[in-house]
Chain A
């Protein structure tokens, strides 16, 4: 197998040059190129209205494709829609359920829709895994929001998809359930399911994702390994707790662009770990020369959230 073919077979989803303009002229997506690797957890981050749900909806067949092409496991979503759709599962952002249907029936219904023969043993296993087995005869309207969310996941998994989209999967769920969901997502990945999740909880992406994509105003700003993104774009901060508070930063320290914090009790120095030099040695030497003494020091790295906000700010 040559390198190109190998690369292609490693990607379960390939999006090329995707544009989407809604009737009325609103351009939701602009020239999106994206490849999702088989077996990874990919987090798609972006503010409200960035185009995340539109992108997912097009891949799933809910919204018409504009320009460009999309392949799911080598199946074009327009020409070979039946094969591509049968590989995809979707947990939508909103809890859209038939209130009067039981958990068991609604999950069974979803499996049938996707052309799979009934398999009660599989549905039973799925419901047990999602802690829904005890609720199987309950009508949807009797379930809590968190339980409904689990049912939505069960419905999306009912036809054993290879690619699962989770659109804001933990929106509005409590911390405990969120942790449960994360554990379940990891188990799914271990079973070979590729997961694309959109989230507002950047902590979630930081916790779960192998790679992160940031989308804003319909444009994919960056796609990067999570660790590399944090390493490349994250800044580090050195905080010095001063022995004696300062009113202003001494002129001798001006080249270091220090900031005063905590009412003059701390000096903050931002540096780039990717830079040739961090400048810390020179800073410490200049501090000693200026007679600024400190009691303690600490370093802190940008979180994914700070990186995300910074990217959005730069893209604005």
Chain B
């Protein structure tokens, strides 16, 4: 293994976060605070509790998941797209780095940044509402699995994209709607029966449900199914990344 190579990519990507603190850290904290003000205080004052949990606390897992998904995807996609865009990717290709090592460097950094943002949001939420975590280890497991999976997805998007519009289209047009419709701010049991069934086709439902269970012992679908769905999506992303490197898709001719 080229550990120095992995470390070089990882540190390079993490250093970029340091240079863009406002965008990387402050921005998600501000938007989460706004969500709390709007949903937690304004709407929450009218919905006192959801299945025994105060509404302001109920939305915390969804809010964290929303940021995790967006941060994982945007960090990883930008991380690999930018060297492609400016042409410095030649150095990565010419280095003695295996595909696995390249992925570990970029995806590892993207996932780390997303986890940091997730933890900051959890800390920020504490300012607005009192909550506890029923299963901390499961919460950490879901946090890590989700960030790694969606960082892999972001990596795939970064390789696929050949302009900035494509880079933005999946996070904005796919991930954001799926997250909002995946039970971030409500329990899917609050939907009419037909839409409850439709919602089950949304993979983000399983992420949020499993994550929420780790906080409140409260889930829309069983935690085992949530975990299996997350692992299946992770396997799918890993297979896609493996295929990209095996074929050199959009990387090498």
A81 at the interface (CB under 8 A from B): yes
Contact, CB under 8 Å: B4 / A116 = yes
- Indicate with 1 or 0, residue by residue over A118-157, a CB within 8 angstroms of chain B CB atoms: 1000000000000000000000000000000000000100
- Indicate with 1 or 0, residue by residue over B1-26, a CB within 8 angstroms of chain A CB atoms: 01111011101100110010000000
The interface residues of chain A, by DSSP majority, are classed as loop
A113 to B95, CA, bound (A): 6
Contact, CB under 8 Å: A85 / B94 = yes
Contact, CB under 8 Å: A112 / B96 = no
Given known contacts A109-B8, A109-B12, A115-B5, is B94 in contact with A98 (CB within 8 Å)? no
Given known contacts A97-B86, A113-B5, is B96 in contact with A81 (CB within 8 Å)? yes
Measured CB to CB, the nearest residue on chain A to B93 is A62
B191 at the interface (CB under 8 A from A): no
- B8: A residues at CB distance < 8 A: 108-113
A98 to B97, CA, bound (A): 20
- A100: B residues at CB distance < 8 A: 16, 19
Contact, CB under 8 Å: A96 / B87 = yes
Distance in angstroms from B107 CB to nearest chain A CB is 16
B92 at the interface (CB under 8 A from A): yes
Contact, CB under 8 Å: A64 / B253 = yes
Query: Which of the candidate stretches A34-42, A86-94, A186-194, A278-286 sits at the interface with the other chain?
Result: A86-94
Distance in angstroms from A18 CB to nearest chain B CB is 15
B52 at the interface (CB under 8 A from A): no
Contact, CB under 8 Å: B90 / A64 = no
A61 at the interface (CB under 8 A from B): yes
Contact, CB under 8 Å: A63 / B2 = no
B88 at the interface (CB under 8 A from A): yes
Measured CB to CB, the nearest residue on chain A to B10 is A112
Contact, CB under 8 Å: B96 / A82 = yes
Can you give 19 contacting A-B residue pairs, CB < 8 Å? A62-B93, A62-B94, A63-B252, A64-B248, A86-B96, A90-B94, A97-B88, A110-B91, A111-B8, A112-B4, A112-B5, A113-B4, A113-B9, A113-B95, A114-B95, A114-B96, A115-B3, A115-B5, A116-B4
A253 to B249, CA, bound (A): 67
Measured CB to CB, the nearest residue on chain A to B3 is A115
A82 to B87, CA, bound (A): 22
Contact, CB under 8 Å: B92 / A113 = yes
Distance in angstroms from A245 CB to nearest chain B CB is 58
8 Å CB contact of B88 from A61, A86, A96, A115:
A96
Given known contacts A22-B253, A96-B87, A105-B15, is B94 in contact with A61 (CB within 8 Å)? yes
Contact, CB under 8 Å: A92 / B90 = yes
Distance in angstroms from B7 CB to nearest chain A CB is 6
A224-265 contacts to B, CB under 8 A, are none
- B12: A residues at CB distance < 8 A: 101, 105, 109
Contact, CB under 8 Å: A82 / B253 = no
Contact, CB under 8 Å: B90 / A90 = yes
A63 to B92, CA, bound (A): 12
Given known contacts A22-B253, A82-B96, is B4 in contact with A115 (CB within 8 Å)? yes
